Structures are given as structure tokens and as C-alpha cells.
């Protein structure tokens, strides 16, 4: 196995929360983008997943402080048993773990069993759920699962949840077995590490709430959803029946910050806080001011417009340091992207003229200028769709992706007939019809800054651009439906395997992770080969070939890997930015006496 599992699992004996008489510890902060809902198969955005990551749990979790990362049992009873050919996986569910109390259980305590994991996996395969994360399961080639899904897509019949699937079985009450068609060396991390998407659900809850399941998440995690005003505020409270669990980690010996956190919290019962209030504040200035004024205990990703005020030169501003604040700086395992709809008649297609157009758009844009002006230095140019801290990422890899060469852009456009045919000063399409690009976007200040930079860059080569401003969830729906031309997004890694990012170009993932709907048989064959390979030089060579294909066809314009600055108020301690996972609330503490009164 790629990861070393913890020698000691997190304590899983049952218990009730302590310190009930102490002041309520409330973590207050803001999302910069609205959530979409809280049913794991039906979500993909990072903000909804941040909430679900604290409500649901799966078999394994990432050590909160270990870098490089490692996995440790969460709902699992020990390490998985994996066959020598990486095709059979046997996992034990720890007995005595219960779902949070809910009316769906009709007053009974509901224990988690292996059958619940079988059901949860089947929900991703059910076409009726349009599961955004289905491709992750499809990639694992689980025996019988994809075959059943394909039959149902053709027949339109309902999913037979009670039928047995050879590759997903509960051998007994607590034993889960997964079988795959081919070797899958990274299967455990791929589909059993990540509470946000892969957390276990109970069938009774799904059937009880039906079409309203997005509003009623019920899991085994440390928090419960208590109140939700869509696109406005999300309130969660400690799960009163959460089992006894203690802070355990193995930070690197030379990681002073992680070592200090562990020294303070080792053995503490989790979660350490009682309540979380998340406000949705899309505008950067109000979100920044809410933090400065003490209304929020934490600001995740200081807005680029305020980074020179918050952390000039990569250090916390002296004024904020004097107030007792603490900053965390991270080169994030993420990337900014511009998706081009390859089914669009203008920017889409894989013929030489269409590829040349996308290359010209890329060459016309000055990424260094974006980093300097819009991002205030908070990023490094990306060369391919693989992110830092994942396999396949090579800081020495250089491509045309970050080149700025408007002269070459003009030459490509001229060569393929994108010229001014009517003398109005703007380029037309080769057939003489007007050439206007539409960029879907949001209303926040960073989006506006990026829109202005793109508009100026395209004007400089004679192309008109208009923007279509919508909320992020609406833009996501449009992209998934293929109703757009170009849309800027960000992508964050959910595991240490770089192949996860390549899903964004994998043909079978079209309309979900693969928003451009890029389809290339050579790329898909590379992707399939990589799934079965162990990590090593041969797989690294395929990563390089896949990156070259991505750069050549340019379904995505990859922009920057972001440098993220997070800041805690004095009342909050323990934050250490997660790399591939979304849950951290249970690992931080709040001192109510140090929070300003509002």
C-alpha cells in the first residue's frame, strides 16, 4: 500500500460529550461561495463538501498533521486486508458506532454496518442520483457495478438496491469486501478516505426524506446540521451522541508548527468546540471586514485584494500580530482553470483550427500579470493540470500553458481565418459571422479583476468578450449541462494521487469532472493504464504524456497554483490547513473569553 496506516486507531468507544456546563464554544467564519446542498452523491463544490465532511464519516481519514500524508482508521477496525494482486479488499467496520439520532430511525439507536457502505456505494452508481463523484467509483472498476449502471441507463429501470453485486458485498455485519476487475493499488485512498463525499449514509434516512435529502444530512460525524438559510447561513452543533474520540497525530519531527499544535492538543477529546456558524459572504470586502471587526474567528483564504494589508511580503502584518492573530501560509494542492466547452460551435472541437483558437486565447493572456495584479503575488504559474503535493506533479515541467505571446496568438488567428472581414476593427469567425466570446463569471471582486484582465488581453488581439454574471451554483449547473462557452473555476485535490486531477480530461467523466467534455481515445487509454499501475517511473512517464496531451488540445487553460493565507483570531487555535480533505473543525479550539462581544 502506498500509505502507512497508523499503528494506533482513533479511540472508538462510546461516550457522551463532556464539559456541558462550560461556555459554548462557537467557531464563526464565512464561505466566499454559496453551498448547493448536503447529500454526498449529489454535490461536488468545495463549500457543500466542507459541511458534509463534518457530518459524515468513512472508513479511513487523513492524519490532520502528518506531511507527507498518511491514513488512519476512522470507522474502520484496523487496516484493510489487500490481496497481492490489488484486486480484493477486505475492510472491517468497527462495532458499536452509531448514526446521529434522527426521526428516520423512529427512536432507535442505529449502528453502522458493512451493509451501509454497500448501500452508500450503490447510491453513486444509481443513475437517478446523477452522482458527481461517480467517476471515482467507475475508475476503480468494481466488479458488476459499472455493468449494472450501464444496463439501467439503457433500460431506465429503478436501481435494484436489494440485489447483490459481486464486487461490493457485506460478508457479515461488520465485514465489507470490494473486488475489482484489475489492480487498483490506491483504492483505499480513492474511495474510503474523505468524509465529504465517501461518508456512509443510512438507507432509512434517504428513504425517509426522499427528494429533500439534500436538506437532511444524517451521519456519524462530530457535528449535526441545526439550521440552514440557503446562500446565507449554515449552523451546526456538536453531535451529542458522538463516540469518544481523541486527538491523535504523527507530525513530522521537523515541522515546528504541527509539533506545537500536537503538544497542545494530544489526547484531547474531539470535537473541542460546540457550535459552528458559517455565513455566506461572497463580496471580499465585507468578508474581510467581518474578520477584522472580530465577528469571525477565522478567515479562510484572505482575499487577494487585501493580502498586502494582511500579510505584506509573506509575513503577518505587524498590526495584526500585535492583536494576537496567527497566519498560516500554504502552497495549496489546487489550480485555477478556465474551462472551454468543447461542444460549443465557436470554442469547441478538436480540429486544427479550433485547437489553434484556444491556443491563441491562452497565448494572449498574461498569467504573470494576473498573479501580480489580481492575486497580489499569491500564486505560481501552472504548467499542466496536476497540482502540488500530488503524484505526477513536477516543478521542473515546463509547457506553453503559461506562455504570454500575443504576437504568436495573432499569427495563429490569422493563419486559420479569424480575421476582420467587415472592417469594424474586430476579428470575425472564418465564415464571416461575428466573433464574440461569452465568459460565465461571478460578481465577487477577484472574478471582476480577472474578467477585466481577460477582456483587455482579448481586445489586444482583436476579439470581443462579454460576461454573463451568475451565482457560482448557477454557473456550475450551466457547465454541467454544457450551456456555456468558457468559465473560470478552481480545483482542489482530494487525495495524494495526481490522477484524480486527470479526471477533468477523461472522456467517461464528461459533464461531471470533465466539464469541457474532452474526449480523446489516446488520453483515455493512458488514464486506464495508470489506474492499474503502482507508483513508480513507468507511471510517472504516463503522467508526462498525459500532461502533454492536455497542453496540446487545451480543453482547460490552467492558470496558477495558489498560495493560500489563512488567519486565526486570538480566540482560535489549532488550525493547520488540510491538504486533501475538508474537515478541520473538530481539530480546533475556541476560547470564548477571548472572542469580542457583538
224, 100 Cβ separation under 8 angstroms: yes
pLDDT at residue 494 in the model: 85
When computed from its CA atoms, the radius of gyration of the chain, rounded to whole angstroms, is: 24
pLDDT at residue 371 in the model: 96
Q: What percent of the chain has pLDDT over 70?
A: 96
- In the predicted model, is pLDDT for residue 356 greater than 80? yes
Q: pLDDT tens-digit profile of 388-398?
A: 999 999 999 99
Say how many Å lie between the first and final Cα of the chain, rounded: 51
Please give the angle made by the CA atoms of 85, 125 and 114, to the nearest 5 degrees.
65
- In the predicted model, is pLDDT for residue 297 greater than 50? yes
Mean pLDDT to the nearest integer, 371-389: 95
* Gap between the Cα atoms of 116 and 472, Å rounded: 33
Which DSSP symbol is given to 596?
P
Please provide the DSSP assignment of 489-554 as one string.
Answer: EEEE-SSS-THHHHGGG-GGGBTTTBTT----HHHHHHHHHHHHSPSSHHHHHHHHHHHHHHHHH-
- In the predicted model, is pLDDT for residue 106 greater than 60? yes
* pLDDT band at residue 85 under the 50/70/90 scheme: very high
Residue 229 CB neighbour total at 10 angstroms: 10
Mean pLDDT to the nearest integer, 558-568: 97
pLDDT at residue 23 in the model: 86
Q: pLDDT tens-digit profile of 302-324?
A: 998 899 999 998 999 999 999 99
**Helical ranges in 90-238 per DSSP H:** 114-125, 134-139, 145-155, 187-192, 195-198, 203-209
* Gap between the Cα atoms of 212 and 207, Å rounded: 10
Tally the C-alpha atoms within 13 A of residue 322's C-alpha that lie toward its C-beta.
Answer: 3
Length of the chain: 598
Cell of 168: 461490493
- In the predicted model, is pLDDT for residue 254 greater than 60? yes
359, 400 Cβ separation under 8 angstroms: yes
Share the mean pLDDT of the chain: 94
Mean pLDDT to the nearest integer, 158-186: 98
pLDDT at residue 3 in the model: 42
Mean pLDDT to the nearest integer, 282-303: 96
pLDDT at residue 461 in the model: 98
In whole angstroms, how far apart are CA 45 and each of 365, 422, 471, 476?
27, 43, 13, 9
pLDDT at residue 21 in the model: 57
Cis bond upstream, residue 68 (ω within 30): yes
Q: Which of 127-141, 144-158, 401-415 has the lowest mean pLDDT?
A: 127-141
354-358 long-range Cβ contacts below 8 angstroms, 24+ apart: 355/552, 355/553, 355/554, 356/412, 356/413, 356/415, 356/416, 357/412, 357/413, 357/416, 357/418, 358/553, 358/554, 358/555, 358/557
Mean pLDDT to the nearest integer, 195-218: 97
In whole angstroms, how far apart are CA 118 and each of 172, 348, 390?
12, 39, 29
* pLDDT band at residue 216 under the 50/70/90 scheme: very high
Mean pLDDT to the nearest integer, 422-438: 97
pLDDT at residue 598 in the model: 64
Q: Which of 7, 415, 73, 20 is nearest to 240 (CA)?
A: 20
Reduced to 3 states, what is the DSSP secondary structure of residue 142?
A: strand
* pLDDT band at residue 10 under the 50/70/90 scheme: very low
Tell me the pTM. Answer: 0.83
* pLDDT band at residue 344 under the 50/70/90 scheme: very high
Please provide the DSSP assignment of 115-128 as one string.
Answer: HHHHHHHHHHH-GG
* pLDDT band at residue 295 under the 50/70/90 scheme: very high
Mean pLDDT to the nearest integer, 394-421: 97
Amino acid at each position: 500500500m502506498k500509505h502507512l496506516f497508523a499503528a494506533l486507531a482513533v479511540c472508538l468507544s462510546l461516550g457522551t460529550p463532556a464539559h456541558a456546563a462550560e461556555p459554548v464554544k462557537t467557531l464563526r467564519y464565512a464561505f466566499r461561495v454559496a453551498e448547493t446542498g448536503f447529500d454526498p452523491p449529489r454535490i461536488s463544490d468545495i463549500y457543500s463538501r466542507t459541511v458534509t465532511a463534518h457530518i459524515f464519516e468513512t472508513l479511513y481519514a487523513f492524519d490532520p498533521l502528518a506531511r507527507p500524508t498518511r491514513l488512519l482508521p476512522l470507522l474502520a477496525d484496523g487496516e484493510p486486508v489487500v490481496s497481492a494482486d490489488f484486486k480484493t479488499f477486505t475492510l472491517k467496520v468497527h462495532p458499536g458506532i452509531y448514526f446521529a439520532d434522527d426521526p428516520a430511525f423512529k427512536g432507535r439507536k442505529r449502528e453502522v454496518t458493512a451493509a451501509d457502505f454497500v448501500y452508500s456505494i450503490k447510491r453513486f452508481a444509481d443513475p437517478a442520483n446523477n452522482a458527481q463523484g461517480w467517476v471515482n467509483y467507475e475508475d476503480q472498476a468494481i466488479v458488476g457495478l459499472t455493468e449494472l449502471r450501464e444496463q439501467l441507463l439503457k433500460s431506465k429501470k429503478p436501481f435494484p438496491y436489494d440485489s447483490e453485486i459481486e464486487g461490493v458485498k457485506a460478508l457479515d455485519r461488520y465485514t465489507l469486501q470490494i473486488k475489482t476487475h484489475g489492480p487498483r493499488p490506491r483504492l483505499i485512498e480513492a474511495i474510503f478516505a474523505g468524509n465529504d463525499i465517501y461518508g456512509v449514509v443510512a438507507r432509512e434516512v434517504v428513504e425517509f426524506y426522499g427528494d429533500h435529502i439534500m436538506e437532511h444530512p444524517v451521519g456519524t460525524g462530530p457535528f449535526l446540521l441545526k439550521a440552514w438559510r440557503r446562500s446565507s447561513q449554515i449552523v451546526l452543533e456538536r453531535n451529542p451522541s458522538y463516540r469518544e474520540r481523541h486527538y491523535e497525530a504523527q507530525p513530522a519531527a521537523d515541522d515546528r508548527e504541527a509539533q506545537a499544535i500536537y503538544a497542545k492538543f494530544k489526547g484531547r477529546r474531539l470535537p473541542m468546540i460546540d457550535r459552528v456558524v458559517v455565513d455566506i459572504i461572497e463580496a471580499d470586502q465585507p468578508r474581510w471586514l467581518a474578520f477584522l471587526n472580530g465577528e469571525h474567528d477565522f478567515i479562510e483564504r484572505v482575499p487577494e485584494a487585501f493580502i498586502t494589508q494582511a500579510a505584506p511580503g509573506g509575513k503577518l502584518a505587524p498590526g495584526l500580530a500585535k492583536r494576537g492573530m496567527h497566519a498560516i501560509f500554504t502552497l495549496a494542492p489546487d489550480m485555477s482553470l478556465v474551462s472551454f466547452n468543447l461542444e460549443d460551435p465557436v470554442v469547441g472541437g478538436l480540429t486544427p483550427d479550433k485547437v489553434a483558437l484556444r491556443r491563441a486565447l491562452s497565448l494572449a493572456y498574461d498569467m504573470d500579470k494576473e498573479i501580480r495584479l489580481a492575486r497580489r503575488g499569491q500564486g505560481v504559474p501552472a504548467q499542466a493540470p496536476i497540482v502540488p503535493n500530488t503524484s505526477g506533479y513536477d516543478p521542473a515541467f515546463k509547457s506553453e500553458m503559461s506562455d504570454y505571446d500575443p504576437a504568436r496568438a495573432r499569427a495563429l488567428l490569422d493563419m486559420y481565418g479569424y480575421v476582420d472581414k467587415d472592417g469594424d476593427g474586430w476579428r470575425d469567425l472564418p465564415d464571416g459571422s461575428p466573433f464574440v466570446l461569452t465568459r460565465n463569471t461571478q460578481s465577487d471582486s477577484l472574478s471582476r479583476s480577472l474578467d477585466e484582465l481577460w477582456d483587455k488581453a482579448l481586445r489586444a488581439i482583436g476579439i470581443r468578450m462579454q460576461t454573463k454574471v451568475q451565482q457560482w451554483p448557477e454557473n456550475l449547473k450551466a457547465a454541467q449541462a454544457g450551456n456555456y462557452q468558457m468559465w473560470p473555476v478552481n480545483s482542489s485535490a482530494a487525495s495524494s494521487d495526481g490522477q484524480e486531477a486527470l479526471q477533468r480530461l477523461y472522456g467517461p467523466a464528461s459533464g461531471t469532472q470533465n466539464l469541457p467534455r474532452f474526449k480523446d481515445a489516446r488520453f483515455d487509454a493512458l488514464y486506464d493504464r495508470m489506474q492499474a499501475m503502482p507508483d513508480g517511473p513507468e507511471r510517472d512517464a504516463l503522467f508526462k504524456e498525459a500532461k502533454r496531451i492536455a497542453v496540446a488540445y487545451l480543453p482547460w487553460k490552467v492558470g496558477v497554483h495558489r498560495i493560500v493565507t489563512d488567519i486565526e483570531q486570538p480566540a482560535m487555535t489549532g488550525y493547520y490547513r488540510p491538504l486533501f480533505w475538508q474537515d478541520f473543525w473538530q481539530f480546533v479550539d475556541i476560547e470564548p473569553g477571548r472572542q469580542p462581544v457583538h
